[in-house]
Structure 1
Amino acid sequence: MDEEKRQNEQQPNPEEQVEAPKEEKQGSSEGGSEAKEQEISPDLSMEELEAISKGLEGLEDEGTATDIPDLESMGQDAQLSIDELIASVKASSNFDFTPGGQVPTKEQPKAQPASFPDISQGAQGFVPSAAVDEKIDLLMDIPVKITVVLGRTKKTIGDILAIEPGAVIELDRQVGEPVEITVNDRPIFKGEVVVIEENFGVRITEIVEKQGKK
């Protein structure tokens, strides 16, 4: 029994054997990290370290979002510029700007009834002046054509071509009916045919123009 105890004491504990490599591994890892730190962090001065830290701070500042402009202030600036433009236009022009976009209305002229002088009495007692008399005297010497129309009728071209000497054309006026007297082809008088020595003449019995005016 004593020998078995001795053998057991001499044999290492498996748990201790397992923990030992762990400690060795931890030691090796710590040693490796220190070596890496020595490789990454060489000997630097304080000024160099401060410069590196400032550069890192600048990178952090650049990564931040830019400031968003204030839309309300931008709208106010635009409105101010529009107001200044309108004021300059008003100052340089004579146009009357009214608020609300209303167009100024012009004052309507007052209507008054028209009055005309009464010319009915003056027309009755009108006497031509000397200048008017002179102009009328100039018209007195103008010659006009007087025609006595015994009667009228209508014929076709065939009837006209068939007329021969000795043919009789019947007119639309009866015997004893007044004949028509025209001045420049315009009917002015009516009268009767008379014989003056060896010539025909007309006795005026009616003035057509005056009847038309009445």
Structure 2
Amino acid sequence: MTASAPPPVGRAARLRLRRTLHVATRGAQLLDRQLHLLRAELAELRRAEAAARDEWEARVREARTWLLRGLLISGEDALRTASRVPPAHVTVAWEDSLGVRHPGRTAVYPGVTDASDAAPRNTALAHAGTSYRAAVEAAARYGTASTAARLVEARLRDTTVRVRALHRLRIPRLQQNLTAIELALEQSEHEDALRRRWAARRTRPAAGG
């Protein structure tokens, strides 16, 4: 691997490098703050995801229980009539949080049954239909919360990589280059001072001349 080229030496180069270092340091500070906010946001989304998953699983268990009761009462043939339900329609409103666009609120519109469709043969099947609709709504909320958590987590990983690159590579390299420039300038100024003193001694008239 070839060595990196030395930084340009000069007061203008030092000024530019100081500005670049300031921008990099300020950027790292802002990203550090964003990381803190993203971690808090992700923790909140994960809690919402866990609660939505628990609700969805509970709704599915409840619906299955009612369905089993209805089938025990009226037999499996009753399921053919009870299952003739149009599919539900789900809409998702997208939101922006800390620069991350993710799904937010959901709305579930159940399929509309025709007036001529046969009604459930017993109340257990009717309860099962209601419970399954609730399960669909819970599934939509769970999917939304899970997707939002994944998107924020992805942004958190990307931001973490950027912060580490600034702290471990970019800023130390800039500081090293700035130190090298300042040392070179100090040496150059010292040599200039020596040359001026030497020139002054050579041009000074001899005593008694």
Report the structure number with the largest CA radius of gyration.
1
Structure showing greater relative contact order (alpha-carbon pairs closer than 8 Å, 6 or more residues apart): 2
Length-normalised TM-score, structure 2:
0.22
Length-normalised TM-score, structure 1:
0.21
The structure with more helix, counted as a fraction of residues: 2
